[in-house]
Each structure stands twice: as structure tokens, then as C-alpha cells.
């Protein structure tokens, strides 16, 4: 296997972890990183990956004059050595891995509507999240105003308020809604529509 020289050698170590997690051999990445080390074993922040410029002490695979040693590179190197020895990525966080590998609970699909992002449609089975930067009461309907419901916005710690509307898995009638702004005790004065596809 040929490993291309990189301007950021610690990327080799990150790739080594990726290869190990995918069930492949990380050793070529470990050896390549060791090849970048100085005679005293220090790992550089960056290595020269262009034609040699001997007058400037820039040689392919050699340090560029950037930070050396780079503790981040040393830490990644030690982590990859440990992971290779264990046969698995040792600092993998199971709950995070489960989330992104799909082993945990299914992720909830959410489509966000806000005044500066007025989505025209939401997929059936998803949650339509209506959000704004001020407290509000949402008046909404999914039967063309034959019946309506009100929902008070839920505050977050980020100064954003929201209301979630659940769609059915089969699609159906669009949502119509309007805002009652609690701070000013006033209605928005217009309706909005989001199709359910």
C-alpha cells in the first residue's frame, strides 16, 4: 500500500482509526507517521509534500518548520498504537457510535420552519418544528380551519422558542398556522401553509 504524504500528518492517524473501525489494517498509517518523526522521535505539525527545496531545508516527508513536537500528533499516535493493540478503537464512545451506526433508537426526522426559512413542505411521518425568536402561541389546523388547536411555544436555553407538530406516516392535508406573539399580545395577521408530502 502506498500512503500519500500529507501536509497534516496527524490526518494519517485519524485515517488509521477509520481503517481499524472498518475492519482493516491500521499499521501502514502507523509506519507512515513514524517515518515523519525526527531522529529524536518528535512528530511535526506539518510535513513537506512537494518537490525538495534543499536550500530551505524542505525535503519530502520532512518537517516544514512548523510546530515540533506537536502534542496533538503524539496523542493521536499513542491512541492509534493502543487501538491497534486492542484490535478496536479504544476511545470510541458507544452511545455516539450507536447513534450514527444506527444501532440505537431510530432518529426522529424533524423539518424546521422559521420566519427566515419557510419550508413549503414536510415529509409524512416527520415532525414539523415551528420556531421563532420570541414566545408565541401557535394556532394551527390540518383540516382547513374546520377545527383548530393552540399550542404554547417551548423555550430553549438559546433564546429560541418552538412548537412541534406531528405528521402521519401516510401524508395528508397541509398544516395551516398563525402566530399570537405573547410579548406584544398581538396576532401575526397572516396564515402560513406547509404541505405534507
Q: Which pLDDT tens digit goes with each residue over 42-96?
A: 888 777 778 888 898 888 877 777 777 778 788 888 999 999 999 999 888 888 8
pLDDT-derived band at 105 (thresholds 50, 70, 90) equals low
- What is the rounded CA–CA span in Å between residue 191 and residue 115? 12
Q: What is the predicted pLDDT for the residue at 6? A: 45
Judged by average pLDDT, the poorest of 36-45, 153-162, 182-191 is 36-45
Q: What is the predicted pLDDT for the residue at 152? A: 98
Of 148 and 99, more confident: 148
pLDDT(2) > 50: no
Q: Which pLDDT tens digit goes with each residue over 125-176?
A: 899 999 999 999 999 999 999 999 999 999 998 999 999 999 876 567 899 9
Strand ranges, E, within the chain:
110-113, 121-122, 127-132, 136-141, 149-152, 154-155, 161-166, 172-181, 186-187, 192-196
Q: What is the predicted pLDDT for the residue at 168? A: 78
Q: What is the pTM of this model?
A: 0.51
Backbone phi, psi, residue 173, to 5°:
-65, 150
- For residue 151, the SS3 value is strand
Top mean pLDDT of 21-25, 57-61, 64-68, 113-117 is at: 113-117
Which H, E and C letters describe 79-127, residue by residue?
HHHHHHHHCCCCCCCHHHHHHHHCCCCCCCCEEEEECCECCCEECCCCE
Structural domains of the chain, with CATH: 10-101 (no CATH), 110-196 (2.60.40.10)
Closest CA to 136 of 197, 183, 81: 183
Q: What is the predicted pLDDT for the residue at 4? A: 42
Q: What sign does the dihedral 157-161-163-164 (CA atoms) show?
A: negative
Q: Are 154 and 163 in contact (CB under 8 A)?
A: yes
- What is the rounded CA–CA span in Å between residue 164 and residue 162? 7
In the sheet where 154-155 sits, what is the strand order?
110-113, 127-132, 161-166, 154-155
Of 91 and 2, more confident: 91
Q: What is the predicted pLDDT for the residue at 39? A: 81
pLDDT(18) > 70: yes
- What is the rounded CA–CA span in Å between residue 192 and residue 141? 11
Amino acid at each position: 500500500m502506498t500512503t500519500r504524504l500529507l501536509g497534516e500528518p496527524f490526518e494519517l492517524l485519524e485515517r488509521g482509526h477509520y481503517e481499524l473501525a472498518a475492519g482493516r489494517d491500521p499499521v501502514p498509517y502507523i509506519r507512515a507517521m513514524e517515518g515523519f518523526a525526527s531522529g529524536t522521535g518528535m512528530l511535526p505539525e506539518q510535513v513537506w509534500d512537494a518537490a525538495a527545496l534543499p536550500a530551505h531545508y524542505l525535503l519530502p516527508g520532512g518537517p516544514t518548520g512548523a510546530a515540533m513536537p506537536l502534542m496533538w500528533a503524539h496523542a493521536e499516535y499513542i491512541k492509534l498504537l493502543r487501538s491497534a493493540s486492542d484490535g478496536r478503537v479504544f476511545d470510541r464512545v458507544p452511545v455516539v457510535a450507536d447513534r450514527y451506526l444506527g444501532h440505537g433508537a431510530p432518529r426522529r426526522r424533524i423539518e424546521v420552519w422559521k420566519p427566515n426559512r419557510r419550508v413549503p413542505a414536510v415529509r409524512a411521518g416527520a415532525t414539523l418544528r415551528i420556531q421563532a425568536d420570541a414566545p408565541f402561541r401557535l394556532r394551527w389546523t390540518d383540516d382547513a380551519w374546520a377545527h383548530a388547536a393552540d399550542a404554547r411555544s417551548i423555550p430553549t436555553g438559546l433564546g429560541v422558542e418552538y412548537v412541534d407538530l406531528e405528521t402521519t406516516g401516510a401524508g395528508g392535508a397541509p398544516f395551516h398556522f398563525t402566530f399570537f406573539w405573547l410579548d406584544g399580545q398581538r396576532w401575526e395577521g397572516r396564515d402560513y401553509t406547509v404541505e405534507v408530502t
